[in-house]
Amino acid sequence: MHNKPVALVTGANKGIGLQVAKDLARHGFTVLLGSRRFEAGEKVIHGVAPHARTIQLDVTDSASIAQAAARIRETYGRLDVLVNNAGVGHGGAAGRSNAQIVTETRMSVVKLDELRTVFATNVFGVLAVTQAMLPLLRAAPAAKIINISSSTGSLTLNSDSSNPLRQYASAYTTSKSALNAITQALAIELEGTKIKVHAVCPGLTATDMSEYGGPVEDAAREPVRVALLGSHSPTGTFSNAQGTLPW
């Protein structure tokens, strides 16, 4: 029987996911660092914790997801925290600036194939991983699903004409709106169970996804805070470091 709580972070070989993995390890979790490129995970795993493990996991590949779930079941028999962090900002040509990506992926012009690619990771990937991990989450004494979303996906905030962020509405932000809807629907479905479901916005962060923003150390704070909440904490929340966000 494995005594430490077990956390899986998807897309954790770099960026915000890697920092969340490091912080959860520091708080006593056995961290499974999900990476679609196993070797990229292995390159950074020693900086996470001695007992952390890389797990090959492409969230758009059902065989990879099934293998990861089987491996966790065999080794640990349960999962205490699932952080659905893997995400993409676009699904088209590399090398575009953030401004270009927004312009080219607005709803009036976005190529449906590009929209499908963004949703494949940010929406269907999250749901596929979550469904595969649910039996393991049910086997934990208390479990949390934390979906890394964005305040730019908030339909309420985007309805406010004074909100400057609404100008970035694009493939990416609509995928986060869909992710929020799924988060809320799952939280409602699992109400009264041991599994809490949350959406968290890490805030604008300088990573390979974004040219601008704060450090990953700041971005990891809210997801980690939510992961550490006690088993009697509320479910179905959407928050950032400043507090509750409206759906």
208 binds ligand NDP (CB under 6 A): yes
3-class DSSP state of 238: strand
Judged by CB under 6 A, the chain residues 7 through 66 that form the site for ligand NDP are: 10-11, 13-17, 36-37, 40, 57-60
121 binds ligand NDP (CB under 6 A): yes
88 binds ligand NDP (CB under 6 A): yes
Query: What is the distance between the alpha carbons of residues 41 and 225, in angstroms, rounded to a whole number?
Result: 24
Nearest to 208 by CA among 44, 102, 88: 88
Tell me whether residue 203 is exposed, middle or buried, using C-beta atoms within 10 angstroms of its C-beta: 0 to 12, 13 to 18, 19 or more. Answer: middle
Query: Site size for ligand NDP, by CB under 6 A?
Result: 31
DSSP 8-state code for residue 20: H
Is 172 in the active site?
yes
Measured from the CB of residue 220, what is the shortest distance to ligand NDP in angstroms? 10
Measured from the CB of residue 231, what is the shortest distance to ligand NDP in angstroms? 26
205 binds ligand NDP (CB under 6 A): yes
Of 83-91, 95-103, 134-142, 227-235, the segment contacting ligand NDP by CB under 6 A is 83-91
* Binding test (CB under 6 A) with ligand NDP, winner from 165, 181, 209, 228: 209
Cα-to-chain-centroid distance, residue 228:
16
Q: What is the DSSP string of 113-173?
A: HHHHHHHIIIIIIHHHHHHHHHHHHHTSSSEEEEEE--GGG-HHHHT-TT-GGGGG-SHHH
Q: Give yes or no for a contact between 115 and 171, defined as CB atoms under 8 angstroms apart.
A: yes
Judged by CB under 6 A, the chain residues 124 through 163 that form the site for ligand NDP are: 125, 148, 150
Active site residues: 172
**Contacts with ligand NDP, residue ranges (CB under 6 A):** 10-11, 13-17, 36-37, 40, 57-60, 85-88, 121, 125, 148, 150, 201-202, 204-205, 207-210, 213
